[in-house]
Amino acid sequence: MPLSDRARRGLVLGLPALLAAALYARTLGHGFPFDDDLILRQNAFIRSPANAAALVTPRYFESGEMSWRPVPTLTHIVEAALVGMPDVPPAGWERALAAQPVPWAAGLREPPAWIFHATSVVLHAACAALVAALALALAGPAAALLAGLLFAAHPVCAEAVCVASFREDLLALAGSLGALLLLRPGPTLTPLRLAAGWAGAAVAILSKESALLLPVLLLAAEWLLAPSGSRRDRRTILRVHGPVLAVAALYAATRFFLLVSPQEAVHSHLSPTLPYRLLLLPALLVAHARLLLWPATLHADYWPVPVLSASDARFLGGTVLGLAVLAAAAWAWRRRAPLAGVGAALLATSLAPILGISPLPNPLAERYLYAPAAGAALLLAAGFSAVGVRRPTARPAALGIAAVLVVLGALRTGARVPDWESGETIREATVRSGLRSLRALAWQIEARRLARDWDGWIEIARRQLALFEGLPFEAAPGRFHAVVGLGQAWRGKAYDLQAAGRPASAELDEAARWLAESHRLAPDHWIPVDELGLVAKQRGDAAEARRRLEEAVRLAWPSDAMVRGHLAELLETAGDRDGAEREYRAALRTDPRSSVLHRLLGMLLVSRFPAGDPRGGAAAAEAASHWAEAAAANPWDHESRYNLGVFRLLQGDFGGAVVPLGQAFALSPDRADIARAAADARERTGDLHGAREALERWARLEPENPEPRRRLGAPPRG
């Protein structure tokens, strides 16, 4: 029994959507890989629904984003509100729990990542269905089904789908395809159709700046899809597409002039200069073509070697490829082949923003190819369809090849998706691949940093620096990251030497040399300035340290919590307690869950007023609240628990002192002062067995001190 048109349409749209959902269903069990850790897991901004009103203000950049893309951030706020995102555990909490399994940390859990991944899976399935729907509107059901399946299974889509904070690419494509379907020539333009098309365009444009070329795509469709005798007049075209142009103009003005993150300007300076970007453009075209046509080898990071002259083979080869693509597009334009023409237009308008003309620190990434993959799928489907129409005898072979491509894509995607399960899995996959890139080596550095293996860090940083040997900084500004990393490693080594009471002047000199070089390369970047301030502090030059750290605070906004903490510690050491308190409070406004900042501010508050000062009681009470915040944020913060317990002891709240002091005692059993305070609290609450345990520990730690032995009833020593 033949299928009805409605059933056939449902099958053509549903199968790509089902394949997309099936390939990425396992991501619902994934964590927070790549940028998800910062943008979703640690982000206090999205945890407050009230911040939806801040999406059109400079406070938007407190979300961790460097580009104004309000629609994706709004979806994250809604998702966080739906699941009630808990406070994020401290970094490395799972390793800490394994090493020291304290019972009060047993209830720790990661924020739920599944809802963010579920939304991305739904969006990818919707995009696959929209690709099929567009092809169905322009060609037959076979071409539509093939286009949808090719896109759903394309391995290059994995990064954008698996990393939920890269959702802007999915939203931009979904909105663009929806607008193209609804506003294209042919169907009757009802008010509801117009409103829905404009809404789709607004979603696309407000999701990512690459969608600013959507009006070009819509105008190209006017030429490609309307027969010459039935084209819309200019007034109708303006009525249909004018609102899209207005949204694009409004977004462009806001995105590039009104709401610009200072950090984005800094990062744009770390991209190649325009002449080198133009030389790299053909090579990027070849790299993108390879990923679209043969995505067998995929990485989380790509580092295209700069092209230094027009005689480079990559420049010449890429130029030939570009001319061939333009010739094919011109052919499709003249022939007005609807499916091929729209596919070529979508491919061109989505590739243009990522070919290196605009300054991008990382000009090549798989997520950039999410929308181009849809254009490529439409083009391939058009090609297979044309073969079947013109050479019916070749139709079975064409269908067989198409099926093989879909199966190969699905298999490669299925193997790629597990790599994106977490930050650790994608780092391991990248390191395992042997990729030699700046980020791949940086991930190796991270393990050395956590182990405080400064010599290992220095060795890998020198390998990073070797990547840029013989390349001018204007062509390869990534050299900055290798240089500043060397400075940080030398400073860390000097810090540990000084902590051990050993001289470190040579290490500090090396740190200063590399950090000064990185500051010369990127004068507006806050990291070298902050590090130079810390070097000056380690050298004992308080005036220079303060000057540098104050400059770093100015440069680091809105991500200035750590830098302000450095400045506050310096001011406190120098005796400027008012300034230190001001900086601690400003840092906590940016990072309200920092246990270190809460602990340090609490200690500053209780030190500000001498005994007997009436203001001391209020300051001590506020300090206790900060120590409680610090203890809640970090289950292994023994110092804040000790401070909080002692405060409650002094206030006569013996029952309230028992828990924090007992936890501090369990975390730091080798601290005599903690053992003594724990013994006091337990004695006052009648826990004589617990008090005896603490007193015995105190006596072992201070064998010459007679007090714990006296309280135990044992004879004093000697």
Report the Cα 703 to chain-centroid distance in Å: 52
Q: At residue 3, does pLDDT exceed 80? A: no
Residue 113: strand, helix, or coil: coil
The Cβ of residue 252 has, within 10 Å, a number of other Cβ atoms equal to 13
Contact (Cβ atoms closer than 8 angstroms) between residue 690 and residue 682 = yes
- Top-confidence residue, 690 or 87: 690
Residues 6+ apart with CB under 8 A from 134: 144, 147, 177, 180, 181, 342, 378
Q: At residue 1, does pLDDT exceed 50? A: yes
Mean pLDDT, residues 612-628 taken together: 85
Contact (Cβ atoms closer than 8 angstroms) between residue 161 and residue 110 = no
In this predicted structure, what is the pLDDT of residue 237?
92
Residue 491: strand, helix, or coil: helix
125-170 pLDDT per residue, tens: 999 999 999 999 999 899 999 999 999 999 999 999 999 999 999 9
Mean pLDDT, residues 3-18 taken together: 90
Percent of the chain residues past pLDDT 90, beyond the cut: 66
In this predicted structure, what is the pLDDT of residue 450?
84
Sign of the CA dihedral running 82, 87, 90, 93: negative
Residue 316 pLDDT class (50, 70, 90 cuts): very high
How close are the terminal C-alpha atoms of the chain, in Å? 104
- Top-confidence residue, 231 or 405: 405
DSSP one-letter code for 4: P
As a whole number, the mean pLDDT across the chain is 90
In this predicted structure, what is the pLDDT of residue 718?
39
Contact (Cβ atoms closer than 8 angstroms) between residue 426 and residue 420 = yes
In this predicted structure, what is the pLDDT of residue 717?
43
How many angstroms separate the CA atoms of 34 and 430, rounded? 12
In this predicted structure, what is the pLDDT of residue 461?
95
Determine which of 93-97, 246-250, 633-637, 709-713 has the lowest per-residue pLDDT on average: 93-97
In this predicted structure, what is the pLDDT of residue 484?
96
343-397 pLDDT per residue, tens: 999 999 999 888 877 777 788 899 999 999 999 999 999 988 888 767 887 788 8
How many angstroms separate the CA atoms of 535 and 294, rounded? 49
527-572 pLDDT per residue, tens: 999 999 999 999 999 999 999 999 999 998 777 789 999 999 999 9
> What are the helix (H) ranges across 89-233?
93-99, 114-138, 141-153, 158-162, 168-183, 191-205, 214-225
Sign of the CA dihedral running 306, 312, 313, 314: positive
In this predicted structure, what is the pLDDT of residue 556?
87
In this predicted structure, what is the pLDDT of residue 587?
92
Hunting for tokens 């009757």 — which residue is that?
188
Q: Phi, psi (5° rounding) for residue 517?
A: -65, -40
Mean pLDDT, residues 21-47 taken together: 93
Sign of the CA dihedral running 264, 270, 272, 274: positive
- Top-confidence residue, 10 or 434: 10
- Top-confidence residue, 90 or 11: 11
434-473 pLDDT per residue, tens: 777 888 888 889 889 988 999 999 999 999 999 999 999 9
584-607 pLDDT per residue, tens: 999 998 888 889 999 999 999 988
Q: Both tokens of residue 443?
A: 């991930």
Residues 6+ apart with CB under 8 A from 145: 11, 12, 15, 16, 132
